[in-house]
Structures are given as structure tokens and as C-alpha cells.
Amino acid sequence: MDIKVNVREAPGDCYVVDLSGEIDVYTSPKVKDAIGELIDRGVYHLIINLEKVRYIDSTGLGVLIGGLKRVREHGGSVNLVCTNPQIKKIFDITGLVKIFGIFETEDAAMKALA
């Protein structure tokens, strides 16, 4: 089990972080490092694509919340792309749907950043 992280530049001072695999206590540090590195470089508008994520736990949610807190200090934002019903359910029951913008497609997430 592993997590794959791919970072790519998108239009409008925005970066997309593609995640693929499972985000748990073992793999979440890798995600945290990738997001932290972008923020350290001054990237404050992020889209995190969870379409290929099969599983996320509280440590993964913690990493996303931590990233959001950091970018908000600079007037930034984090939008999520998520279609997996089980993962959406986790965002629902934890109330994180009210904190993150969660979108069905990357296009929609990008438009919402603009």
C-alpha cells in the first residue's frame, strides 16, 4: 500500500496535487510534505485531486486541514476534487464539507478558485 503524489502547475497561480492510493497514518506524511513544500514556495491556491484516492483516515484529513489553515493565512484556498462516495461520506460526517470546497471535476474546482 502506498500513496502516489504528483504536483503540476495549473493556470492562474494555482497548483494541482494529484493523489492516488490510500492516505493513512503511514502515508500521510508524504502528502503533508508535498503540500507543505508548495506553500513554502508561496503557492496559496491549491486543488487537491482525490479522484484516485481509495481511502482516507483522520490523519489524512488532518493534513488537508493543516494545509488549508496555512494557505488561509495568506488569503489562499484549497479546493478538493472528490467523487468517491465513501470518502465524501467522511467529509460529510466530520463536517469538513463546510470548510472545503468539494467538487466533482477539476474544472469545477478550478473555476471556483477564480
Q: How far apart are CA 114 and CA 110, in angstroms?
A: 7
91's torsion region: left (phi>0), alpha (psi -120 to 50) or beta? alpha
Given 13, 33, 37, 62, the residue binding other proteins (CB under 8 A): 62
Q: Which of residues 71-110 bind other proteins (CB under 8 A)?
A: 86, 89-90, 93-94
Among 5, 57, 99, 106, binds other proteins (CB under 8 A): 57
Count of residues of this chain found to bind other proteins when the rule CB under 8 A is applied: 16
Near other proteins by CB under 8 A: residue from 6, 9, 33, 58? 58
> How far apart, in whole angstroms, are the C-alpha atoms of residue 29 and residue 96?
20
